[in-house]
Structure 1
Amino acid sequence: MTILVIAEHDNSALKVATLNAVAAAQAIGGDVHILVAGFNAHGVAEAAARVAGVTRVLHADSPHLEAGLAENVAETVLASAANYSHILAAATASGKNVTPRIAARLDVAQISDIIAVESADTFQRPIYAGNAIATVQSHDGIKVITVRTTGFDAVAHEGGAAVVETVAAGPDAGTSQFVSREVTKLDRPELTSANTIVSGGRGLGSGENYTKVLEPLADKLGAALGASRAAVDAGFVPNDYQVGQTGKIVAPQLYVAIGISGAIQHLAGMKDSKVIVAINKDPEAPIFGVADYGLVGDLFSVIPELAETL
């Protein structure tokens, strides 16, 4: 049994989400290979070869793979798919863009967002916004799977000594074209990999208040900034900040929810956090139901005082 993990990268660095997908592959059992599909991504292939537990790295290098267009990456995966029992990718925007194309072409049912492995053909995945866990068994010859990164601890990025093998890139599908990319550059940790996250909700009232109240606390904690969907929809912060079922799924060591009521959609994205602190003026707010520590109070006085104390 051999498993292929599709690497997520930017042609210069391997994304941490790949290490979580490798952990899921190791839980399934068998040899673990990583596919690095990109352009001038030799450094990524070398980094992938050093990942603990990986036995082989397939490196496909071509200009039409530079932008990571899902159609072209899928073609490259499909060229080698017959050699694998499982094809895995992290359940990120990138992974969820590529894997359905692979599953459709292979005529198999994709298994999405797994959080646990029971056996080589049986997996657990959350449903109903995480309020229930479904156990799914697949008899497909090749299993195409996306991995919820919060469900598996990342493997070590050093310690492996895999062989790097150059493979031919799949053909350019020609059905899409890369035009441009707008990347939000932050001085803070990336939301999905941060150890501490400070999130704000509708209770902050405005984008100005979000910045004024939360940034000093986040600075003291060295935290990433997040937000509820209500705060994003109200225009307080960009979409990149959204935590929840339709945003980013996170599981930091510490999650501080400020002015967030705790709608099911938001809880689905953060309830696996190791420690949850909730601050809200409503003692009946659902967020207190999942919080390890709760403080009922006016955030406009509590947060500045907390930041000053820290």
Structure 2
Amino acid sequence: MARLKVHQDKIDDPEALVAVCPFGSMSVKDGNVVIDDSCRMCLNCVNTGPKGAVEFIVEKKKKPLKKERWQGVAVYVAQVDGEIHPVTYELIGKAKELAGKLHQPVYALLIGSQVQAAAKELQHYGIDKIFVYDDPKLARFAIEPYTAVFERFIKQNKPNSILVGATTVGRQLAPRVAARMRTGLTADTTILDMDAKSTDLSQIRPAFGGNIMAHIVTPNNRPQMATVRYKVMDAAPRQEEISGEIVEKKINEKKLVSNEKIIDIIPKPAEQSIESADVLVAAGRGVKSKAELDQLKELANLLGGQLAGTRPLVENGWIDVRQQIGLSGRTVRPKLIICVGISGAIQFIAGMDNADNIVAINNDPKATIFKSAHYCLVGDQSDIIPQLIADIKARKGE
């Protein structure tokens, strides 16, 4: 790759140098000559401008990537106080699938303090090697030491791909590690696949507000990295037998120094989460009044479920942001979801299309939501919902 470098100390008349450019790509800002993106690399400024004022630099060509040196699919184990976040088991399931196509091993990276029990639990999930960095200084997440440990793991083991759960920690850690390794990162990936021939990881995620599905590959860099939300992938089943090797690792104490100081950690009160609900009743823009929303709450309660909704209802202040489903909300995977008055935009569908049973109620027979639903009811919700509530109450003898 080539570029132009301007040496300001060798320019006596900035305006005269700017006039040399036939494409108007040079200008004077704060007394300095700058070159913008419209530069055509004609080199007129180099050849006819003041000697040495503009230098043409050809950067050294990057050495071809030796992909065969990068082997295996690694999973970062999300945990707090030794309790493993369930997204980890989903990523293990996907990692085993991807690694199977390459006939390569599956690794797990476990960082923390007193996490031996967690490491032993991971042996029930068919992982080849579990790398454990156990140190009191790693008891709580801090970006600098955790990044240092992650970097050490990558440089020593050279995994082909790394999957990280899109948790609060994962969303901070993965970008820092990717930048440290000068590689790419795809956030909130919804589909992952592996090309057995090229060993390139195919990463697909909604982009531009869900209007397109971006297909991303990182053919010239390793490792390949992706974050995945909870409830997007299928969890690996727990096996009775134990397999895999626990590899205990250490890192230089100087690498564990952090400029952050954690003063205290205050546990949040337990709260209901739509991610863990088996039954959801989701309301969309078609719900026109709070009275209709109250009916949906009643339906959710009768079914032992929770109320959820789309972004417009959050913006109206009718539901809490924690109840929002979709790209800018939560990803859910209930046994049953009833979608009422929802058009079916990709922003919403991406957050719930893995539900076991999807029921859609909409008065528009051409509504996009019907393409994703297993059961479709065309009609006005003000007629259907009261009848549904009455039928459920009758069955319960209420």
Instruction: Report the TM range for the smaller structure's normalisation.
Output: 0.7 to 0.9
Q: Which one of the candidate residues 168, 179, 191 is aligned to 1:115? A: 191
- Runs (5+) with no aligned partner, structure 2: 1-70, 393-398
Q: Tell me which amino acid in the other structure corresponds to 2:186.
A: I
Provide the residue aligned with 2:360 in structure 1.
Answer: 278
C-alpha distance in 2 between matches for 1:9 and 1:234: 35
Structure 1 runs of 4+ aligned residues shifted over 6 Å read none
Q: What are the Cα deviations for residues 5-31 of structure 1, in whole angstroms up to 9, with x where unaligned?
A: 111223242222111211221122222
Provide the residue aligned with 1:45 in structure 2.
Answer: 119
Q: Tell me which amino acid in the other structure corresponds to 1:299.
A: Q
Provide the residue aligned with 1:126 in structure 2.
Answer: 205
Q: What are the Cα deviations for residues 56-110 of structure 1, in whole angstroms up to 9, with x where unaligned?
A: 3233344554443444432321121111322221234432322111100011112
- Runs (5+) with no aligned partner, structure 1: none
Provide the residue aligned with 1:94 in structure 2.
Answer: 169
Larger Rg: 2
Contact 2:165 2:229 in 1 (8 A): yes
Task: Sort the Cα spacing of 1:78 and 1:307 in 2 relative to 1 into closer, same or farther, 3 A.
Answer: farther
C-alpha distance in 2 between matches for 1:200 and 1:178: 41
Identity %: 27
C-alpha distance in 2 between matches for 1:173 and 1:109: 25
The answer to whether 1:295 aligns with 2:384 is no
Task: Sort the Cα spacing of 1:135 and 1:99 in 2 relative to 1 into closer, same or farther, 3 A.
Answer: closer
Q: Which one of the candidate residues 183, 191, 207 is aligned to 2:274? A: 191
Contact 2:283 2:308 in 1 (8 A): yes
Q: Tell me which amino acid in the other structure corresponds to 1:116.
A: L
Q: CA RMSD in A?
A: 3.2
Contact 2:142 2:258 in 1 (8 A): no
Does the residue aligned with 1:269 lie in a helix, a strand or coil?
coil
Q: What are the Cα deviations for residues 157-194 of structure 1, in whole angstroms up to 9, with x where unaligned?
A: 3344333343336514324757656746335xx43354
C-alpha distance in 2 between matches for 1:303 and 1:186: 27
Contact 1:71 1:98 in 2 (8 A): no
C-alpha distance in 1 between matches for 2:135 and 2:123: 19
Q: What are the Cα deviations for residues 225-246 of structure 1, in whole angstroms up to 9, with x where unaligned?
A: 4321112222223222221111
Contact 1:254 1:274 in 2 (8 A): yes
Does the residue aligned with 1:134 lie in a helix, a strand or coil?
strand
C-alpha distance in 1 between matches for 2:175 and 2:327: 19
The answer to whether 1:238 aligns with 2:308 is no
Shift of 1:43: 3.5
Shift of 1:44: 2.7
Provide the residue aligned with 1:105 in structure 2.
Answer: 180
Contact 1:91 1:146 in 2 (8 A): yes
Q: What are the Cα deviations for residues 175-214 of structure 1, in whole angstroms up to 9, with x where unaligned?
A: 4757656746335xx433544432223444567864x333
Q: What are the Cα deviations for residues 263-290 of structure 1, in whole angstroms up to 9, with x where unaligned?
A: 3322232234343211234555443343
Shift of 1:134: 1.6
If asked which structure has higher relative contact order (CA below 8 Å, sep 6+), I would say 1
The answer to whether 1:57 aligns with 2:130 is yes
Task: Sort the Cα spacing of 1:145 and 1:132 in 2 relative to 1 into closer, same or farther, 3 A.
Answer: closer
Does the residue aligned with 2:237 lie in a helix, a strand or coil?
coil
